[in-house]
Amino acid sequence: MYQTQDKAAAVLALDASGLRVDADARLDEPAGLPGRPARPELVHPSALKNRAVGTLEGRASLIHALAHIEANAIHLALDILWRFAGMPEAFYRDWWQVAQEEARHFELLETHLRTLGHAYGDFPAHDGLWDMAARTRTDLLARLALVPRTLEARGLDVTPAIRNKLVSVGDQAGAKILDVILRDEIGHVAIGNRWYHTLCAQRGLDPVKTYTELARQHAAPVAKGPFNLSARRAAGFNEAELSALAAEPLATT
């Protein structure tokens, strides 16, 4: 039976550096969710239990939730690769790099989860990341605006606090994994920013106004502070974009 572990391993094993990119190839959309195993059970976010991270079960639940985010991130990077034709070759090379790094993150977290007596699929999870991917499946500009620049950028804000929480309960191994993830995710959001701004420039669109319109059109979640401004700047957000964040007064440096 298919396992997410298999997909992560297959992505990491493929050296695409010598493969030819056919940027004009158009593929038919597969039915249903892409390559999803029976577990974890997908539920509404309100149905997820809050577990104290100070307990072994609570810490495993947290690591599982992070692993699920990375599993979704593999799907998202692969989806943008095949779904949107006609972009420069560098676009596809960028997102393949993202897919491989997300696969590595998943493997690191899943391996750590096993040291806590659990495996990926043992806890229920929600599918908010993929839901936004489905909403933006026909519009590359919206996909770039609302997945890497919104949902994944949120990880830049919350990861340091989660890391500190793991340190507070003595999970140094988990904290080191989050250091790797934060470093790489800055690069992933930067890729989203770069291609979003490239498309806006090509279409003569104002990036800030266009983002607001796309967020409203696709019912994107409203960004809430505090924000990790240093990480967001490193990921390519400019000062006009940072000033437009809804809770900017709560931002951190």
> In this structure, what DSSP letter does residue 149 have?
I
Considering only 64-68, 92-96, 125-129, 222-226, which range has the smallest mean pLDDT? Answer: 125-129
- pLDDT at residue 42 in the model: 77
Considering only 21-25, 44-48, 227-231, which range has the smallest mean pLDDT? Answer: 44-48
- pLDDT at residue 248 in the model: 47
Main-chain phi, psi angles of 120, to 5 degrees: -60, 130
pLDDT tens by residue, 126-172: 877 778 888 999 999 999 999 999 999 999 999 999 999 999 999 99
| Token pair belonging to 63 | 């690591």
CA–CA separation, 187 and 246 (whole Å):
23
112 has pLDDT over 90 = yes
Mean pLDDT along residues 11-38: 82
228 has pLDDT over 80 = yes
Residue count of the chain: 253
Main-chain phi, psi angles of 250, to 5 degrees: -90, 5
195 has pLDDT over 90 = yes
Report residue 251's pLDDT band, with 50, 70 and 90 as the boundaries.
very low
Report residue 48's pLDDT band, with 50, 70 and 90 as the boundaries.
confident
- pLDDT at residue 136 in the model: 94
Indicate the average pLDDT of the chain.
Answer: 90
CA–CA separation, 6 and 166 (whole Å):
28
CA–CA separation, 182 and 164 (whole Å):
13
CA–CA separation, 203 and 200 (whole Å):
5
247 has pLDDT over 50 = no
Report residue 19's pLDDT band, with 50, 70 and 90 as the boundaries.
confident
Considering only 67-76, 104-113, 190-199, which range has the smallest mean pLDDT? Answer: 67-76
- pLDDT at residue 34 in the model: 62
- pLDDT at residue 133 in the model: 87
Considering only 38-42, 66-70, 207-211, which range has the smallest mean pLDDT? Answer: 38-42
Please state the pTM of the whole predicted model: 0.92
Mean pLDDT along residues 175-202: 98
CA nearest to 148, candidates 207, 210, 77:
77
Per-residue burial over 62-81, b if 16 or more Cβ lie within 10 Å, else e, is: bbbbbbbbbbbbbbbbbbbb
